[in-house]
Homo-oligomer: A and B are copies of this chain.
Amino acid sequence: MTDGPGHGLPMTVPARGLPSAVRIHEVGPRDGLQNEQTVVPVEVKAEFVHRLAGAGLRTIEATSFVHPRWVPQLADAEELYPRLTGLDGIRLPVLVPNARGLDRALALGAGTVAVFGSATESFAKANLNRTVEESLAMFEPVVGRAKEANTEVRGYLSMCFGDPWEGPVALEQVVRVSRRLLDLGVDELSLGDTIGVATPGHVDALLHALGEEGVPPERLAVHFHDTYGQALANTLAALRHGVSTVDASAGGLGGCPYAKSATGNLATEDLVWMLHGLGIETGVDLGQLTATSVWMAERLGRPSPSRTVRALSHKE
């Protein structure tokens, strides 16, 4: 089960114009678990991160220093973070919603933090209870203090391709908020398709518009959700634009496929299958990663929604 597909599949056939290596930003422990119904004990979370690192992932978003009232699933951040030892060379970003969250993260020695913004007013209001401008104003000192502390900062921008309240989101609006976040000093900006509605031409158009605005693909990451099955096709479009950091969640954690709110992160295994078929280096051992997701799925009491995990874990 853990040896990958075997038989030399997928065949490695590179395509022109794609990066030679991709850095996978693994979000399972944070974006994945925060959307799961099951409460996961802190020692299981710690083991999950260690197993992911063992499978070759080098950037693993570990948890969130958000108020426990909002994300009870991650209320154990202070307990979890000190358990993540012996992970030399592994980046363990943590989400910080505000100055208080940054304080908590810095106190524990986090080397990378992430702030979470919205491209739309509706989601800024729903998620942050602020306008987009007010949220940027809140992030400014957070980013500034993190940089002073020599801490890397990732910016998330959600609802870049559509919003559940507003519907379509104008490219100009996404470009404008992206530019603001980058100007605040975030080192990397992750463009989120939070409700999974993007299609590849839309991805092309946004990355093109950002390029016109002087944003190089090296500062961008993409964060696709598989709600409508589009995540991997969209990733392919982003790779063609030179984006080489891709967010994914081991086993597709983060959203029940049967619920209305299904957010379904792109499964890291489905991504790795494609990247390895394309001859793009990831450092990930697909067999070990699949075994990790099967292990985690057992703890969550439901099968992984990743197609690759399902297919590989039923090999004899």
Contacts and interface: CB of A to CB of B under 8 A. Distances in A.
Contacts of A88: none
A270 B228 contact: yes
Interface stretch (A73-81, A99-107, A128-136, A162-170): A162-170
B307 A258 contact: no
B161 A11 contact: yes
Given A15-B200, A15-B204, A202-B13, A307 B228 contact: yes
A307 B15 contact: no
Interface SS of A by simple majority: loop
B200 A164 contact: no
14 contacts: A7-B167, A8-B167, A10-B162, A10-B197, A10-B228, A13-B204, A199-B277, A229-B308, A232-B232, A233-B274, A236-B236, A257-B307, A258-B303, A262-B311
A126 interface: no
A310 B260 CA distance: 8
A314 interface: yes
B9 A167 contact: yes
A237 interface: yes
A178 interface: no
Contacts of A236: 200, 233, 236-237
Nearest to A165: B7
Given A168-B11, A199-B274, A202-B277, A310 B232 contact: no
Interface in A166-202: 166-169, 195-202
B235 A232 contact: no
Contacts of A295: none
A70 B197 CA distance: 41
Given A5-B197, A274-B230, A11 B310 contact: no
